[in-house]
Amino acid sequence: KPSKQDITKKSFPPGFVFGAGTSSYQIEGAWNEDGKGPSIWDHYCHTYPDKIKFRHNGDVAVNSYHMYEEDVKMLKAMGMGAYRGNAPRWGKSSGYQLLQQPYQQLLENGIKPYVTLFHWETPQALEDEYRSFLSPRIVNDFKDFAEVCFKNFGDRVKHWITFNEPYVFCCNAYGIGKHAPGRCSPGNPCAVPTGDSLAEPYQAGHNLLLAHAEAARLYKKKYQEHQEGQIGIALVSMGYEPFDKTNHVHSQARDRSIDHNLGWFLEPLYRGDYPFSMRSLIRDRLPNFTPEEKAKLQGSYDMLGLNYYTSRFSRHVDYSPLYSPTQYKDDAYAEVGIIGADGQHIGEDTGTGWLCYYPEGLKNLLMVIRDRYGNPPIYITENGVGDQDEGDLSMDNAVNDDVRLNYLNDHIAVVKESIDMGSKVRGHFTWSLLDNFEWQNGFTHRFGLIYVDYNDNLKRHMKNSAKWFSKFNGVDKKDTQVAAGELSNGVP
Ligand code: GBH
């Protein structure tokens, strides 16, 4: 599909950052090195190996724990100004010293670290002791962990993101059991069936929100003034369109879908409580906030991360047989799908099953945030597409990733349009810097700008999209090749 518009970094306001993101379990490996205790993902992959495609796991992942210098080189080759990665892993006691090096390396190359504290890796010890996010005890433990990070890295890290995608974490880990710790509602094939699970995603989300609020408050009170950084959270949301624009019931369904995805977490942070449609439909399964908690939640962020991939039509249904808190199923009498009333697909197939090409959905979400949620500063913390699920993923083929290149070009163009329409987007991070462990899909899905050769020592190679980014960011072609190690000292 040809790109609608050619766009470069220069089209954006000064200070706007472009970067790429990763998460530690997906890339680092070294799962038990340097005193690290197991996380729920280590435990889950080791205990229920059949839950993951080809029984893959993140024990070695793409070995970034040891190969981070290669990763930084690639960021540099692409001219990226920022990198979104994880903090020292929660529960790791002696790793802090070692993790100083990657940060140093980034800063020396002029790349700003944007650090996510939690990308789904709870220490297994907290899961064993008190069921982690199902208990309010998680709030203080998370706050303590956050403080270790602020204290040790706050001189260098100026952008903190507490949680990645609470929606996916709660739904996948507590609703459909596809992610660690693998708990789920009745009727789903999960690793750890639970008793009264219809409420668990909401309990986990509730404690997570309170943990965010406490960590953000601590940062703002004790660290922000002298460290001069910002803190926020990264929320994922699909975009939603009414199944049939000519019938208002579907527009209402569309609003409920937004409430139950983006609004579930954004509305408590914005005004101190869940969206009314969630309160009225989920009722006693949805916990309550005390007045003090509401006050702490409200405005507990300087910026918002938004992870956007794709969109769905939302269709009103009068009776919802699947009404339960599982992903895409606690559907608020709104059924989501990719085909609209007129038979049109919401967007072209990209080759990744769940992911249709629909850049307008990103703009529409940004407008919802502008109009309903006070228009905060925003970073697009994830945006990207996988290579063909079923295609030939040998290197020669996979580096020709025009689908990704066009996808990124067109979504970045829409970010520009949204800024012109008043949205305060401050940066864009492609997901992902490099191919990695794609959770339940193992290594079979590749989201990287950089190809990782699983048959040759995890060597990194730039895909076409990565080379496109170098041009986009204004890096000289030769400099790109030198940085990527394709030329040594400028000689092929
Ligand atoms: C992101 O979530 C994650 O933050 C990131 O870690 C991950 O690498 C990236 O997605 C790409 O997958 O395979 O049909 O079960 C984005 C939201 C929700 C999208 C779960 C994929 C699973 C679809 N994700 N969904 S399926």
Span from the CA of 347 to the centroid of ligand 1 (angstroms): 18
Could you give the count of Cα atoms lying within 13 Å of 46 in the half-sphere of its Cβ? Answer: 11
Q: Using a 6 Å cutoff on CB, does residue 438 contact ligand 1?
A: yes
Please tell me what DSSP assigns to residue 89. Answer: P
Span from the CA of 383 to the centroid of ligand 1 (angstroms): 11
ipTM tops the 0.90 cut? yes
Atom of ligand 1 nearest to the CA of 441: 13
**CA 36, 40, 44, 45 torsion: positive or negative?**
negative
Tokens of 27: 């890339």
Among 28, 70, 127, 382, the active-site one is 382
Q: At what angle do helices 64-77 and 464-472 cross, to 10 degrees?
A: 50
From residue 394, give the alpha-carbon distance in Å to each of 391, 397, 446, 451, 454: 9, 6, 11, 10, 10
Span from the CA of 192 to the centroid of ligand 1 (angstroms): 21
Q: Is 180 left (phi over 0), alpha (psi -120 to 50) or beta?
A: beta
Residue given tokens 């869940």 in the structure block: 274
Span from the CA of 260 to the centroid of ligand 1 (angstroms): 17
Q: Using a 6 Å cutoff on CB, does residue 169 contact ligand 1?
A: no
- Residue from 451, 487, 410, 421 nearest 3 by CA: 410
Tokens of 352: 């990744």
Span from the CA of 220 to the centroid of ligand 1 (angstroms): 31
Q: Using a 6 Å cutoff on CB, does residue 293 contact ligand 1?
A: no
**Along the 492 residues of the chain, how does pLDDT read in single tens digits?**
445 567 999 999 999 999 999 999 999 999 998 888 899 999 999 999 999 999 999 999 999 999 999 999 999 999 999 999 987 667 654 445 556 778 888 999 999 999 999 999 999 999 999 999 999 999 999 999 999 999 989 999 999 999 999 999 998 998 888 999 999 876 677 788 665 567 899 999 999 999 999 999 999 999 999 999 999 999 999 999 999 999 999 999 999 999 999 999 999 999 999 999 999 888 888 999 999 999 999 999 999 999 999 999 999 988 765 555 554 456 678 889 999 999 999 999 999 989 999 999 999 999 999 999 999 999 999 999 999 776 777 888 889 999 999 999 999 999 999 999 999 999 999 999 999 999 999 999 999 999 999 999 999 999 999 999 999 999 998 888 888 888 655 454
Q: At what angle do helices 96-108 and 137-153 cross, to 10 degrees?
A: 50
Span from the CA of 226 to the centroid of ligand 1 (angstroms): 36
Q: Give the whole-angstrom CA distance, residue 326 versus residue 171.
A: 6
Nearest CA to ligand 1 atom 22: 354
Sequence-ordered list of residues with C-beta below 8 angstroms from that of 488, at least 6 positions apart, any chain: 482
Provide the 10 A C-beta neighbour count for residue 226. 9
Judge contact between 30 and 434, C-beta under 8 A: no
pTM: 0.95
Judge contact between 297 and 209, C-beta under 8 A: yes
Angle of CA points 320, 324, 329, to nearest 5°:
70
Q: Using a 6 Å cutoff on CB, does residue 447 contact ligand 1?
A: yes
Phi, psi of 116 (to 5 degrees): -95, 125
Q: Using a 6 Å cutoff on CB, does residue 308 contact ligand 1?
A: no
Q: Using a 6 Å cutoff on CB, does residue 164 contact ligand 1?
A: yes
Mutation probe of ligand 1 site: the residue of 120, 171, 439, 452 with most atoms within 8 A of C-beta = 439
Q: Using a 6 Å cutoff on CB, does residue 387 contact ligand 1?
A: no
- The residue type at 488: S
Q: Give the whole-angstrom CA distance, residue 176 versus residue 171.
A: 6
Q: Using a 6 Å cutoff on CB, does residue 328 contact ligand 1?
A: no
Sequence-ordered list of residues with C-beta below 8 angstroms from that of 436, at least 6 positions apart, any chain: 22, 26, 27, 61, 62, 443, 447, 448, 452
**CA 105, 30, 94, 114 torsion: positive or negative?**
positive
Annotated catalytic residue 382: yes
Tokens of 215: 């960590």
- Residue from 244, 362, 246, 369 nearest 309 by CA: 362
Q: Using a 6 Å cutoff on CB, does residue 236 contact ligand 1?
A: yes
Judge contact between 414 and 434, C-beta under 8 A: no
Judge contact between 357 and 407, C-beta under 8 A: yes
Atom of ligand 1 nearest to the CA of 432: 8
